[in-house]
Amino acid sequence: MGKKIVIITGSPRAKGNSNSLAAAFASGAIAQGNEVEFYDTTKAKLGGFGGEECKADREKLDSLMRWADVMVLVSPLYWKGFSAQIKLAIDGFAKYLSIEGKNELSVTEAALIATGKSPDGFSFYPMVEEYKHIVEMLGLENKFTLICPCLNGVGDVEKHPFLIETAVKYGMEI
């Protein structure tokens, strides 16, 4: 049976590298009969933990986290970490650390897709460490981390077909 997947994106560039990889991943997942929903944190007004936010925007994310089996975090590398917009979504996941909160979470698996300008994978280390911590604290299973260096301008990812192919493949195998 197909899985339910929520893809949470963190780039304000609609046609940017991370959103292209998110779409590639989704195409592979859908081709295999999985259900996919996107949540664009850059279009939402989220307040992190306890901050002022749009209730409807948080409730939409909460409902997807109650619906999905898999959460895919997709973010550009900003200052070696997640973008501020996706971080606000993640900080709100602190509620899932309590026993009552855990009952509100149907997600059991997670994955990470990250894009950055740097040519080396080491620059992604802080973000990957944070991701691993999130996965561990929420008791999730890591499915994959797709780290994509050498991407800066919109469309750069098109020059790296291997990355697109890998994202599609990971979608098909999820």
Ligand X SMILES: Cc1cc2nc3c(=O)[nH]c(=O)nc-3n(C[C@H](O)[C@H](O)[C@H](O)COP(=O)(O)O)c2cc1C
Which stretches of the chain bind ligand X, using CB under 6 A?
A: 11, 13, 16-19, 76-80, 115-118, 123, 151-152
Q: Smallest gap, in angstroms, from Cβ of residue 37 to ligand X?
A: 19
**Are the C-beta atoms of residues 91 and 58 closer than 8 Å to each other?**
no
98 or 152: whose CB is closer to ligand X?
152
Question: In this chain, which residue has its C-beta nearest to ligand X?
Answer: 16
12 or 47: whose CB is closer to ligand X?
12
74 or 134: whose CB is closer to ligand X?
74
Q: Smallest gap, in angstroms, from Cβ of residue 11 to ligand X?
A: 3
**Residue 59 neighbours by CB under 8 Å, 6+ apart:** none
Which structure tokens are listed for 127?
Answer: 């973000």
80 or 95: whose CB is closer to ligand X?
80
The sign of the torsion formed by the CA atoms of 21, 81, 139, 52 equals: negative
> Would you give the distance in Å from CA 159 to the centre of its chain?
22
Q: Smallest gap, in angstroms, from Cβ of residue 116 to ligand X?
A: 3
15 or 102: whose CB is closer to ligand X?
15
* Edge-to-edge strands, sheet with 35-40: 35-40, 4-9, 70-76, 109-115, 141-148
DSSP 82-135: --HHHHHHHHGGGGGGSHHHHTT----EEEEEEE-S-SSGGGGHHHHHHHHHHH
Q: Smallest gap, in angstroms, from Cβ of residue 115 to ligand X?
A: 4
Q: Smallest gap, in angstroms, from Cβ of residue 73 to ligand X?
A: 13
